[in-house]
Amino acid sequence: MSAHSQPHDKDKQDLHKFGYAQELLRSMGGFSNFAISFSIISILTGAVSLYGHGLLYGGPGMMGFGWPLVALFVMIVAAPMAELASAIPTAGALYHWAAILKNKRWGWYTAWINLIGQIGIVAGIDYSVALFADPLIADVFGYTSTETTILITFAVILLSHGIFNHIGIRIVSRLNDFSAWYHIGVVLVLVFSLAFFTKGGLNAVDYLYQVGDTYSDKPYMFAFLIGLLQAQWTFTGFDASAHTIEETVNPRVRASWGIFNSVAYSFVFGFIMLAFVTLSIKDAGAATEADNAFIYVIGQALGGTFGDVILWLVTAAMWFCGLSSITSFSRMMYAFSRDKGMPFSKQWAQISRKFRTPAKAIWLAVILSFVLALVDYIIKSNNPDATYTTIAFLTAVSVVGLYVAYGIPILLKIIAKRQGRFQAKHLGPWHLGKYSDAIGILALLWILFISVIMVIPPNENAGYALAGMMVLLVIMDFAYYRRNFQGPQAALNNSMDEILRRENALENPAASGPGGKSHQA
């Protein structure tokens, strides 16, 4: 046996003990796994597309205080998720974790809540691309950008992402690797340009920490909380490293670091970018009144052709972000359908023989994301005086859906640990040690807090949409899945102890002993 094949065989055996065959192509390295989450977080998508939202409600201080505040707590959420990915390395991720730690019904609800969030994040990301791309294309071809042309551009972008994901994980993996470096490169170009070429120079550094003034009709502290959506939505989708875990070599370590490091690096590079963009503002009030605050600020600071080139570079980064999000979404649906948790599951669990990708799940992800934006388009067409924005609606749906799904297995692990069903021996090589419970509790408190903040007026429509989806889930559960859903293979008659016993039998009996190496965070 070659040295190259040994890690793959070990990862294959690792997956077998959870009840699954190795169907997806396992070819992603550690950087590729990190890159997919880093690309979905995409500071050049979330922080940029909702820049006007943050500025409107929190002013410059939203960038100086709001971004670091949210980033800190998101790292606290990411850490226990990374710990669970190391312990239970299957593509079902959140849903498998919940089912193993509690039962199949908890797993089923976790999967569907995650899917709701995934629909929102894919729609939100690609709609962000359309919001930037359509006005730029309109300038080139001489038409007027409208809600309708933006929707058409959105559909074309989704189509391109579906095609690339269908073709195969190798090309997507290479594009994700390129995307990570591209994001860092564009941020550096943007920062350098603003630092040296901003017309009239930059504002004083204390402008970044200016608080107390809001451009909304809300009291400042309340408005500041609403503005946190900008940063909170940016830091979504890092569970992609777990959803591609069956395509990653040495996943118990690499996927866990992919989850945590994607948040940490996004925090640092995002803060640097936002600081220079905010310090280049000439008229914050005028920026909040513009159709796109970020485009307005860059245009005022750099002007003309130079500003347009920067905006095209940013738009391309957003496109890479959407590509990665379709990858993550389709893997989640593939894993859930493999366990017969969705209507017509057999279809969505099929793997393309030619490309070794979940082709039908990929196109279902594209369709569902388009439908969510289309429904909002129809609602706004019939209610032209609506004050909320489509992007705020889509992003709030994704934030609440994803973070509630993140929180469920974290909660269940704490409970299972208290009941003695999850012990130190069940941990993977990446873990938080004695700080695990304390960090998990802080993560849950933050998830509860932002889940309320994200759906209060003026974004209550997101709350209504989420409530409606939850009612539909309950109906589906009691009408069919309560009796017919068997749960993931990973959880069928499998306690953590039984899984651990099989691991020891399949691999090395000494692996769980006290002499094993540990990558403790």
pLDDT per residue as tens digits for the range 388-407? 678 888 888 899 999 999 99
Instruction: State the Cα angle at 10 between 8 and 13, rounded to 5°.
Output: 110
Tokens (6 digits) for 51: 């820049």
Q: Residue 54 has what pLDDT?
A: 96
Burial 336-347 (b: 16+ CB within 10 A, else e): bbbbbbbeebee
Peptide bond between residue 458 and the one before it cis (omega within 30 degrees of 0): yes
Residue whose pair of structure tokens reads 């490169």 in the numeric block: 185
CA distance 296 to 275: 16
Instruction: State the Cα angle at 443 between 439 and 449, rounded to 5°.
Output: 145
Tokens (6 digits) for 324: 């990665």
Residue whose pair of structure tokens reads 């594009």 in the numeric block: 175
Q: Are 317 and 182 in contact (CB under 8 A)?
A: yes
CA distance 296 to 287: 6
Q: Residue 3 has what pLDDT?
A: 42
Burial 2-17 (b: 16+ CB within 10 A, else e): eeeeeeeebbeebbeb
User: What pTM value is reported for the model?
Assistant: 0.85
CA distance 11 to 27: 11
Q: Residue 458 has what pLDDT?
A: 80
Q: Residue 247 has what pLDDT?
A: 80
Q: Is 391 exposed, middle or buried (0-12, 13-18, 19+ CB in 10 A)?
A: buried
Q: Residue 174 has what pLDDT?
A: 85
Return phi, psi of residue 21, to 5°.
-85, 155
Return phi, psi of residue 395, to 5°.
-70, -35
Q: Are 297 and 281 in contact (CB under 8 A)?
A: yes
Q: How far is CA 41 from the centre of its chain?
A: 6
User: What is the end-to-end Cα distance of the chain in Å, rounded?
Assistant: 33
Residue whose pair of structure tokens reads 């551009």 in the numeric block: 153
Q: Please identify every stretch of the chain with a pLDDT value under 70, giving residue numbers as ranges.
A: 1-27, 386-388, 489-521
Q: Residue 14 has what pLDDT?
A: 61
For 351: left if phi > 0, alpha if psi spans -120 to 50, otherwise beta; the answer is beta
Instruction: State the Cα angle at 312 between 308 and 316, rounded to 5°.
Output: 170
Residue 148: count other Cβ atoms within 10 Å of its Cβ: 11
Tokens (6 digits) for 379: 């609602």
Tokens (6 digits) for 256: 């866990």
CA distance 8 to 27: 9
CA dihedral 332, 335, 336, 337 (to 10 degrees): 120
- Give the residue ranges of DSSP H helices in 168-292: 169-197, 220-227, 229-234, 240-243, 251-279, 284-289
Length reported for the chain: 521
Q: Are 49 and 128 in contact (CB under 8 A)?
A: yes
Beta-carbon contacts of 50 under 8 Å, excluding residues fewer than 6 positions away, are 229, 230, 233, 234, 391, 392, 395
CA distance 137 to 327: 26
SS3 at position 461: helix
